[in-house]
Structures are given as structure tokens and as C-alpha cells.
Amino acid sequence: MLEAQDLTIGYGTTAIGSGLSLKVGTGGILCLLGPNGCGKTTLFRTLLGLLPPLSGSVLLGGTPITAQSRAEIARRIAYVPQAHAPPFPFEAIEVVLMGRTARLGAFGQPGRRDREIALSAMSRLGIADLATRDYSRLSGGQRQLVLIARALAQEAPLLVMDEPTASLDFGNQAQVLTQITTLARVAAEDGHGVILSTHDPDQTFALDAQVLLMKDGTTHATGRAQDVLTGETLSEVYGISVTVEKTASGRMVCLPSLGPQSTPTMTSEALTTA
């Protein structure tokens, strides 16, 4: 569905990262993970076709993304930004209907069928009761679910999410992660793949995701979260001591050291029973 091959990314002639490759298919979840400044945002913009690669290629549906129009890309990729407060008091259903723009002509107006699709997307996420609510007055978690519903209404097979749980409280983070997992689990029926960026390695374990772990603009590790996110690897990337432990329920969690040391001292994965 989306494939990057040996990308060099950056702005103008200035390279920010290089040697980056990834692939996301139907039913897959890929998490971009790494410290601030490692190039995640630049890679995101390149994958969305907003920046041309300095070298290498991005293939969307087997075709170079640089050869596709914005309308074609919008029919294949739905983008979910971080939750935000809009400048106007739109109803939640109006925000979701904005996702139908990719399916309408230049001057097209959403009709009954578009509204049915928008309401169906909200129902799927359990937020149909918010349809006539003022979007700007919803909680952060509710707004994020509305943005995901807008992406679903777009009827694109790939969902690209920029830190979808940023600024959300613990309960709303869990709610959004549950919906992401559900979207991937029903992929055989609906054909969704998901790529998201996150600053929280614990989320990659919760999502049972594939991971692209970046450092200094390059791929430091890639593979299934359980296989590549070890204490040693995370310590190397983040410059602090990290252990990865298994709880009694079987869940993997990351524990950074809160001590005064500034360089990693614990470099092996710890598997313990909490």
C-alpha cells in the first residue's frame, strides 16, 4: 500500500535523514519512534507527498507518490493530525463531512450519501451521539475520535496519524489506541493500514506494531516492537538507561532510569514478572 525505498529526506539540498525504507500493507500498524529532532516529521511529510525525497522513492499503491495528484493521494491516504481547537464552532458532523472532500468535485457539496457515510464512521467509533455537538467544546479525546472519523469518512485505505494521543489524558489515550487496534483488526473486511508517530514506546507494545526506530535521521532498528525495542536499543537511542520488563499480564513496558547518570548503564533487556 505504502512503501519507501532507500529514502534521503530533507529540505532543498539539505539532507535530514538517509537510508530510510519501510512498508505498510493492509491490516498493518507501523509506528515511527525516536527522539526529538531525529527526522520523524520530515519523513512524515515526505511519506504524505508534501516534500519530495532528495533521493529514493515513495510508492503509493505501487506508483511513485510524486507522480500522483493531491486528489489521488487524498483518495488513498487519510491524515489524522493531533487534536486541535478549531477557530469556528463547527458541529462534529460537519468536521467529519470534511473528509468527503476527496470524493467530491472541485465545487461539489456533500449530499445525503455523504452524510450517511459520515454518520456511519462516527457510529463505528461510538461517537454518533456527538454529531450535533460543538466540536470546539468536546474533550481532547472526543475531538481526536472525530478526526479519526473524518479520516474514515474519506474512505482511504491508509490512515496516517501524527502523534494521535499527544496531549490526551490517560483514559483518552487508551480509548484512541483501542480504536487504532480495532481498525487494524478489521482490515480483512475494510482494508485499512495505519502508520503513526509516537514518543511513547509503550504504545508500540500495546498496538503489537511494527516499528521504525530512528536516530540522527537514520534507521536504528526496524521490526516487530517485541523483537527490536530492547533496553539496550532504547538506551542507545535516547541516551538514558532503559529497561524493558514484562508484567504479570504479559504486557511489555519500558522503564527509564530516573537517576542522575547521563549515559546508559543498563544495556540488557530485563524480563521480569511484576
- Which of 155, 183, 214 terminates a domain? The answer is 155
The domain tally of the chain equals: 3
pLDDT for residue 32? 94
Query: Helices H, strands E: what count in the chain?
Result: 10, 12
Measured from the Cβ of residue 138, the count of other Cβ atoms closer than 10 Å reads 19
Query: How far is CA 249 from its chain centroid?
Result: 26
Q: pTM, whole model, 2 decimals?
A: 0.83
List, in order, residues 6 or more apart from 198 with CB less than 8 Å away.
31, 32, 33, 163, 164, 165, 204
Contact 114, 100 (CB under 8 A): yes
d(Cα 56, Cα 77) in Å, to the nearest integer? 20
- Residue 247: domain span: 230-274
pLDDT for residue 237? 92
pLDDT for residue 97? 94
- Residues 69, 163 within the same domain: yes
- Residues 64, 164 within the same domain: yes
- Residues 169, 71 within the same domain: yes
- Residues 103, 140 within the same domain: yes
pLDDT for residue 229? 93
- Residues 142, 161 within the same domain: no
- Residues 224, 235 within the same domain: no
- Residues 218, 235 within the same domain: no
- Residues 249, 181 within the same domain: no
Torsion, CA 225, CA 33, CA 176, CA 26, rounded to 10:
-60
- Residues 61, 92 within the same domain: no
- Residues 54, 177 within the same domain: yes
Q: Which of 240, 244, 243, 234 is nearest to 259 (CA)?
A: 240
Residue-level pLDDT, tens digit, the chain, 274 residues: 899 999 999 998 899 999 999 999 888 899 999 998 898 889 989 999 999 999 999 999 889 998 998 888 988 899 988 767 777 889 999 999 999 988 886 667 888 899 999 999 999 888 999 999 999 999 888 888 899 899 989 988 899 998 888 877 888 788 888 888 887 766 545 668 899 999 999 999 999 899 999 999 999 999 999 999 999 999 999 988 999 998 888 888 888 887 655 444 433 333 333 3
pLDDT for residue 189? 57
- Which of 155, 173, 191 terminates a domain? The answer is 155
